[in-house]
Structure 1
Amino acid sequence: SFYYGTFPAGFLWGVGSSAYQTEGAWDVDGKGPSIWDAFTHQKGKVFRNETGDSACDGYYKVKDDIQLLKELKVNHYLFSISWPRIMPTGIKTEQLNENGIQFYNDTINSLLENNITPIVSLYHWDLPQVLQEKYGGWQNISMINYFNDYANLCFEKFGDRVKHWITFSNPWAVAEQGYETGEHAPGLKLGGCGAYKAAHHIIKTHAKVWHSYNNTWRSEQQGMVGISLTSGWGEPVDPHSQTDRDAAERYIQFHLGWFANPIYRGDYPEVMKNYIGRKSAQQGLGTSRLPTFSVQEKTYIKGTSDFLGIGHFTTRYVLQKSFPFLQVSSYRTDHDLAELVDPTWPAPGPKWLYSVPWGFRRLLNFIKTQYGNPLIYVTENGVSEKVQCPQLCDEWRIEYLKGYINEILKALNDGVNVKGYTAWSLLDKFEWNKGFSERFGLYHIDFKNKNKPRYPKASVDYYKKIISANGFPNPREVENWHQKAMDTCSTTRQLLATDSLITHMEMVTEIVLPTVFTLCILISIVLLIIYLRNHT
């Protein structure tokens, strides 16, 4: 049932984005290539072979996009720094790019001038390509020191103004989709070992960066360093079945616990160690495919998060499913479970993203119980649509935001320590291997128009009302928000239709007319030659 009430005073409301998905300007002003530049430039890796070369042109539109943030009346903006934009090869001793450093300085300063708090992620998947080519990226332990150098440069250059740092955004996807399935950059299919090895190095890197900040910068800058972990909720198909309950627990531990357990409890979840260890032994391997932490490393890693960032999108029903003995195992078969969905769950866009708000409250309560009720910021939560045509009256996104934000309010009443919420995302943007076919934005972008204009969807108006009211005050007011949002989007839709017509007219003017004019000149020349031949 829906709960009417407001959030505590000082609760932070924001929106998010990431560098590669929005900035564009992939080789401009001294930026080095990232693994995503290299990956998207290979044919067949991304839907329709689309790239983030220009993305939303965010590099050139910082001031415009900050105006959108002001429109929304958000408290904070979560964005990521592109490592190769400020350190082209990823190696501090080789080269720094002052243009890139200036770009982020200007962005941070503009946000603060407009009373918007920057929350900055150091890594949203765009590893410098040089580090991938030279060392194998996150498969190599040398990344720990290279990343720590990069993080310390960011603390030095921006830490006087940035007080909320995220080391890694959704490292699960970096490890599993980058080094196991190969769906994401760098596109490696190192089945059974690649994801675990990458994650191991990422966790150690996170800890090193936290200690660097703690020892060198904290006393002067007084900021916080955390990590952002993305996880669905796993609900047992039969809550009375112990095997289904165990399978649902494994689902969470193999997603969230993989990274959160070492940071909050000092080691990988026991269930991961047991299952991967047993399957490795069945394969005849002398050691587990899941690496181990030494006693010193466990102590070093435990407690290295001032807050926990949580990304959450959807829920699955989970049941036990034993995979037959496989000579080549994988992360997907290691946890012996199957995922199901309820066909009645709304799925407005892609088939992976079902709207199941109640799963969010359960996930937040799980975190409270498992990890000692840490300080939580929701760092990613939103829903996408599959693009057929522009959909500005995004009623399903309004329902999604309303439902999920309401579950956070219920979790707060359960005693969960949530301090902020970040809607994902500010803009329609490049969605990794899905290209531009999925749209998460509160603002629609017309990517066919060279100026990439932004148009507010109905959800902008609705989210703005939630922020202003700091929650859901009463049924009548909340219902009124819905109607006003739908009225606003009708006006915007007319504006978009007019602008699209103008864009088409401009294309006619810029392409068709010059072509016709050129053809006319050519025909005239041919006719003149024929005429002159006939008369000589």
Structure 2
Amino acid sequence: MALRGYLFWGLLVLLMINSWGHDSVATRVSSSYNRTSFPADFVFGTASSAYQEDVQLMKFMGMDAFRFSISWARILPRGKLSGGVNKEGVAFYNNLINELISNGLKPFITLFHWDLPQALEDEYGGFLSPRIVTDFVDFAEFCYKEFGDRVKHWITLNEPWTFAFLGYDLGSLAPGRCSAWRNNDCPAGDSATEPYIVGHHMLLCHGVAAKVYKEKYLVRPQ
């Protein structure tokens, strides 16, 4: 019973894009990959735009927490602050957060759930480049500033090992890279090295983003 105050009964959802073409949403790597890997009318990682109904259902079920992912490409269509901010995307997440809190649910936010903006993949290979660290931390800090007055629970990266292994070793997850000896369907990649490079850069992203939060945004109990 001593742990009661630290337990949450919640729901985890991959909440990224409602539907193609809304909010001027930019393409992310997983959408490009999935469009050619699934039927034409299949949309991966969707969440209902009628979030008020979803929140009411969670409240009815007695939940007190909701973990969801923020789409990097929905906030920063070009992947970088210099490329501009999608205000409609920011408004959607603000509305969702406010709706959760007003109904007694604590928001838990995941900053990266495998939806890298396509622009960064095209520019420098995404997580294969150390340049990803700066862009990820910029995105993370934007979210801290925009949502941090209400959100106190943050997850930097969802299952980084799985992302590196499936995306760069087996080639079964976006961006679908691997060696030919691993999977003949992969257009490019090196299963012997790339998963480790990606994993290293993901750890750097986590480390720097967590450091920024602790030093600038974490409110410690007095």
User: Above 0.5 in TM-score?
Assistant: yes
Amino acid of the residue matched to residue 84 of structure 2?
A: Q
1:115 is paired with a residue of what secondary structure?
Answer: coil
Equivalence for 1:28:
22
Change (3 A) 1:218 1:7: closer
Q: Following TM superposition, by how much is the alpha carbon of 1:216 offset from its aligned partner in structure 2, in angstroms?
A: 1.5
Contact 1:40/1:50 (<8 A) preserved: no
Gap regions ≥5 residues in structure 2: 179-189
- What are the Cα deviations for residues 168-198 of structure 1, in whole angstroms up to 9, with x where unaligned? 0111111011111110001111211111110
Matches within 5 A, 1:219-234: 219=219, 222=220
Contact kept in structure 1, 2:66 and 2:108, CA below 8 Å: yes
Are residues 1:9 and 2:11 paired? Answer: no
User: Shift in Å at residue 93 of structure 1?
Assistant: 1.1
Structure richer in strand, relative to its length: 1
Match of 1:202 in 2: 202
Q: Which amino acid aligns with 1:51?
A: F
Verify the 8 A CA contact 1:123 1:168 in the aligned structure 2. Answer: yes
Matched pairs, number: 209
Alignment check: 8 A CA contact 1:139 1:201 kept: yes
**One-letter identity of the residue aligned with 2:211:** H
SS in 2 for 1:67: helix
Cα pair distance change 1:70/1:7, threshold 3 Å: farther
Query: What residue in structure 2 maps to residue 168 of structure 1?
Result: 157
Q: After superposition, where does 1:380-459 map in structure 2 within 5 Å?
A: none
Counterpart in the other structure of 2:88: 99
Aligned positions of 1:133-144 closer than 5 A? 133-144=122-133
Q: CA deviation at 1:61?
A: 1.6
- How far did 1:19 drift? 2.1
Q: For residue 438 of structure 1, what is the aligned residue in structure 2?
A: none
Alignment partner of 1:51 is 2:42: yes
In the alignment, which residue of structure 1 is the partner of 2:107?
A: 118
1:141-176, Cα deviation, whole Å (9 max, x unpaired) = 000000000000000000000000000011111101
Q: How does 1:286-305 map to 2 (within 5 A)?
A: none
- 1:497 counterpart residue number: none
Q: Deviations over 1:84-103 (max 9, x none)?
A: 00100111111100000000
The answer on whether the counterparts of 1:83 and 1:150 sit within 8 Å (CA) in structure 2 is yes
- Structure 1 runs of 4+ aligned residues shifted over 3 Å read 48-51
Bigger Cα Rg? 1
Pairs within 5 Å for 1:339-358: none
- Say which SS state the counterpart of residue 89 (structure 1) adopts: coil
1: CA distance, partners of 2:29 / 2:46: 19
> 1-side partners of 2:34 and 2:46: how far apart?
16
SS at match of 1:73: coil
With over 3 angstroms needed to count, the CA separation of the structure-2 counterparts of 1:136 and 1:51, relative to structure 1, is: farther
Structure 1 CA distance, aligned partners of 2:68 and 2:47? 15
Q: CA deviation at 1:8?
A: 3.7
The C-alpha deviation readout for 1:93-114, integer Å capped at 9, x for no partner, is 1110000000000000000000
Say what the alpha-carbon RMSD is for the aligned residues: 1.8
- Structure 1: tracts of 5 or more residues without a match: 1-5, 224-536
Once residues 118 and 40 of structure 1 are traced to their aligned partners in structure 2, the CA distance between those partners, rounded to angstroms, is 28
| Counterpart amino acid of residue 88 in structure 1 | P
Aligned partners of 1:75, 1:212: CA distance in 2, in Å?
28
Does the 8 A contact of 1:40 with 1:49 survive in 2?
A: no
Q: What is the CA-CA distance between 1:7 and the residue it aligns to? A: 7.9
Residue aligned with 1:192, SS: coil
Alignment of 1:149 with 2:138, yes or no, is yes
SS at match of 1:118: strand
Counterpart for residue 176 of structure 2? 187
Give the letter aligned to residue 115 of structure 1: G
Structure 1 position 83 matched with structure 2 position 77: no
Q: Kindly tell me: are residues 18 and 197 of structure 1, through their superposed partners in 2, closer, same or farther at Cα, counting changes over 3 Å?
A: same
Counterpart amino acid of 2:79? G
- Hey, what's the Cα distance between the residues in 2 that align with 1:50 and 1:180? 28
Take 1:27 and 1:138, find their aligned partners in 2: how far apart are those partners? 26
SS in structure 1 at match of 2:166: helix
Residue by residue over 1:2-32, the C-alpha shift from the partner in whole angstroms, topping out at 9 and shown as x without a partner, is xxxx784322111111124xx4323311211
What amino acid maps onto 1:152 in structure 2? E
